Amino acid sequence: MSGTMSEAKNEQVLIFDTTLRDGEQSPGCSMTTEEKLTMARALEELGVDILEAGFAIASEGDFAAISSIAQTVRGPRIASLARAKREDIDAAARSLEHANRARIHVFLASSDLHLEYKLRIGREQALEQTGEAVRYARTLADDVEFSPEDATRSDRNFLVEMVRVAVEAGATTINMPDTVGYTTPEEYGRLFREVRERVPAIDAQGVILSSHCHDDLGLAVANSLAAVQAGARQVECTINGIGERAGNAALEEIAANFFVRADYFQLHTGIQMKKLNAVSQTLRERISFGPSPNKAIVGANAFAHESGIHQHGMLANPLCYEIMTPESVGADSTHLVLGKHSGRAALRHRLDALGFALTAEELLEVYHRFVALADRKKNIYDQDLIGLLTARQREQRSGNMAAVD
Ligand code: MN
């Protein structure tokens, strides 16, 4: 049994990646088996602990992809999703036949909304089905995760009952998903504390609690971190935050929080931080969209600065405006973008790098011409800067120069 939160310091939080299941099932994110295999290998190198490879019964393609990932990707535990039905669980188990370490992930809705309108079953039947499905899955795998779908909109007493039944039936991980991105950090944390308290078998049997958050209100990462602070030791997330609707909690943001704020969380993950940008790139090349430029950690502007005050600070000491180095997450080095908000410090820095050493007076003249140009043009390239110099200044270029972009 793992220690309780208060006594345990710097424990590991398991990273459960669902890029290839929750992510892949969202619009514009379909991948072929070959593409999924490439992603799975990249996720293995990244150091994810559990890799959810798909939903075996959903299609032959899904089954084939899980099966080939299970055969070739040996590092992470491979998970296969199943509804709380025998035929789903059988398909999940078959897809994992060749896995080094396998997990069957069973889910059944716990909210009245889903039970009444989607499944058309009552609470009693849902509890029965939970127990049967988890017990059956345990005959096929020693590692079984159970998720009460829509946990955050479920009647609390009933949710606690369902979790108790799943734990008694042998579930080794209990995931309480915020399926529709509805909860808040404080509320989600309370949910985890309450379930832990009311189902003592969770701690007694060393069952791992897990978060699974969606970003409909922009809170997926904050909610996941709140769950961890309330005792969850597994976080379900995806690369670039892809997933149903507004997406899942972004893996790179979760990992970066534990990395940059290790002082605060006192927890760690097995993620190789320097590989984050490469994996993000591998995904964007295989689906129809990449992260927005202002996306944390992996966006094109995550380490770019244009304003004069920020650029001046960055040139004096990068810590002025950056809480992690771009290199630490595998991004290109800091980019000082020259635009109408830039000042003379950044202009001099770039001209120096290009090999043009100007006097203060010359720099001021060039700066006036630069500001006039930047007012008309959104992107200023090195060639534009060189165009602002006089012929004599251009001739005096030193041999020691940066490449022109
Ligand atoms: Mn989901």
126-147: per-residue pLDDT in tens? 999 999 999 999 999 999 999 9
Among 6-15, 257-266, 322-331, name the one with the lowest average pLDDT: 6-15
Q: To the nearest whole percent, how much of the chain has pLDDT over 90?
A: 89
Mean pLDDT, residues 248-260: 98
| CA separation, residue 20 to residues 6, 25, 58, 394 (Å) | 34, 8, 13, 53
Ligand 1 centre to CA of 211 (Å) is 10
Tell how far the Cα of 248 is from the centroid of ligand 1, in angstroms.
7
Q: Are 405 and 382 a contacting pair, CB within 8 Å?
A: yes
CA–CA separation, 340 and 201 (whole Å):
61
Q: If you average pLDDT over residues 249-272, what whole number do you get? A: 98
Q: Do residues 91 and 58 touch, judged by C-beta distance below 8 A?
A: no
pLDDT at res. 397: 84
We find that the CATH architecture of domain 11-284 is Alpha-Beta Barrel (3.20)
Q: How far from 210 is each of 154, 186, 305, 321, CA to CA, in Å? A: 17, 16, 37, 34
Question: What's the gap in Å between 21 CA and the centre of ligand 1?
Answer: 9
| Residue among 145, 72, 78, 69 at smallest CA distance from 106 | 145
Tokens found for residue 112: 């009245």
How remote is the CA of residue 208 from the centroid of ligand 1, in Å? 18
pLDDT at 152 over 50: yes
Report the separation in Å between the CA atom of 169 and the middle of ligand 1, taken as the mean of its atom positions: 23
| CB-side neighbour CA atoms (13 Å) of 22 | 30
In this predicted structure, the answer to whether residue 398 has a pLDDT above a threshold of 80 is: no
Place of tokens 């035929």: 87
| Centroid of ligand 1 to alpha carbon of 81 (angstroms) | 11
CA–centroid distance, residue 39 to ligand 1 (Å):
19
Cα 386 to averaged position of ligand 1 atoms, centre (Å): 51
Calpha distance 144→14 (Å, rounded)? 15
Is the pLDDT at 401 greater than 80, yes or no?
A: no
The rounded Å distance from CA 288 to ligand 1 centre is 20
Q: Please, where are the H alpha helices in 169-219?
A: 185-198, 201-204
Number of Cβ within a 10 Å radius of residue 375: 9
The CA 405 to ligand 1 mean position distance, Å, reads 42
Give the type of residue at 5. Answer: M
Instruction: Quickly state the pLDDT bin for 405 (edges 50, 70, 90).
Output: low
What is the tens place of the pLDDT at every residue in 173-223?
A: 999 999 999 999 999 999 999 999 999 999 999 999 999 999 999 999 999
Q: Across the chain, how many H-helices and E-strands are there?
A: 17, 12
pLDDT at 403: 58
Confidence band for 399, pLDDT divided at 50, 70 and 90:
low
Q: Which of 47-51, 118-122, 172-176, 244-248 has the lowest mean pLDDT?
A: 118-122
| Gap from CA of 250 to ligand 1 centroid (Å) | 12
What's the pLDDT score for residue 334?
A: 81
* DSSP secondary structure string for all residues of 55-73: ETTT-HHHHHHHHHHHHH-
Which pLDDT belongs to residue 335? 84
* Element holding 107 (H helix, E strand): strand 102-109
Look at residue 1 in the predicted model and tell me its pLDDT: 42
If DSSP codes are grouped into helix, strand and coil, which group holds residue 271? coil
Instruction: Show me where the domains of the chain are located.
Output: 11-284, 304-404
Burial of 294 (0-12, 13-18, 19+ CB in 10 A): exposed
Q: Is the pLDDT score of 318 beyond 70?
A: yes
Count of CB atoms within 10 A of residue 39's CB?
27
Ligand 1: distance of its center to the CA of 310 in Å?
Answer: 38
Q: CA-to-CA distance for 266 and 24, rounded, in angstroms?
A: 32
Reference 62, options 25, 89, 28; nearest CA is 25
Q: What's 181's DSSP letter?
A: S
User: Residue 175, SS3?
Assistant: strand
Taking the C-alpha atoms of residue 230 and residue 71, their distance in angstroms, rounded to an integer, is 36
Say how many Å lie between the CA of residue 277 and the centre of ligand 1.
23
What does pTM read for this prediction? 0.91
Dist. CA 241 → ligand 1 center (Å):
11
| 3-state SS record for 9-70 | CCEECEEEECHHHHHCCCCCCCCCHHHHHHHHHHHHHHCCCEEEEEECCCCHHHHHHHHHHH
The token duo for 148 is: 């009460």
What is the average pLDDT across 23-50? 97
Question: What count of other Cβ atoms lies within 10 Å of the Cβ of residue 9?
Answer: 9
Strands 173-178 and 208-213: parallel
* CA 167 vs CA 1, 112, 131: distances in Å: 15, 21, 9
**Residue 2 predicted with pLDDT over 90:** no
Q: Please tell me the predicted confidence (pLDDT) of residue 45.
A: 98
Name beta bridge partners: 104: 80, 144
Which residues have C-beta under 5 Å from ligand 1, the single-atom ion? 22
User: Residue 61's pLDDT is what?
Assistant: 95
